[in-house]
Amino acid sequence: MLNNYNSEDKVLLSVDCIIFGFDNEGLKILLIKRDFEPEKGKWSLMGGFLKKDESLNKAAIRVLNFYTGLQDIYMEQFYAYSEVDRDPVERTISVAYYALINIENHNAELIKNYEAQWFSISKMPKLIFDHNEMVSHAMRRLRYRTSTKPVGFELLPEKFTMRQLLELYEAVLDKNLDKRNFISKINSLDILVKLNEKDMLSSRKGSYLYKFDKEKYDAQLLNHFVLNL
């Protein structure tokens, strides 16, 4: 039995957050310039060390709020990174989360203060340490999620067109989808409310706007289903 804590090695534990957003230009990631050594001035994920009085989830919420000013962000823990040499300063284990936010809702002043910047996933710069690996892993998890849970409420504005929803799925999956098949499968989930409003910027006739039925959407998040797109 291990009963002597003092004789055991001590390691640091951190959380790193992969923050995804979506706009008319596609799926994006929020990055920050590191303001201390090592790798000062290089692009990094947003993270911080676990404090003695908090759980991993609370640490992730603190980090996300500190850099974005947002509360109630959808996030999911997906992996722990524990390579011995992943941090050149100190042995550090990192637990990674991905978060989904609506870009329109982020706190622009905080992002300005911390030199944070949105990048297209396809044009993301090289990141410090193993952060590029974390992003790739988070993308695989997000893509898997699209086949088991509905995606969109956290990334889209309150009112959106079916084309915007289609473009979101295409951006996440990185492939073109058949429009009719997509609409049919999304409608089968019964999580959208069609509004008597149109987006008149999308075409001459305009495109109907939709909202997520929050109650049905949340219920679907709890249920397992397969959405083959």
Supply the residues annotated as catalytic. Answer: 115
Sole residue written with tokens 């219920």: 219
Distance (Å, rounded) from C-alpha 80 to C-alpha 92? 11
Per-residue burial over 87-126, b = 16 or more CB atoms within 10 Å of its CB, e = otherwise = beeeebbbbbbbbbbbbeebeeeebeeeebeeeebeeeee
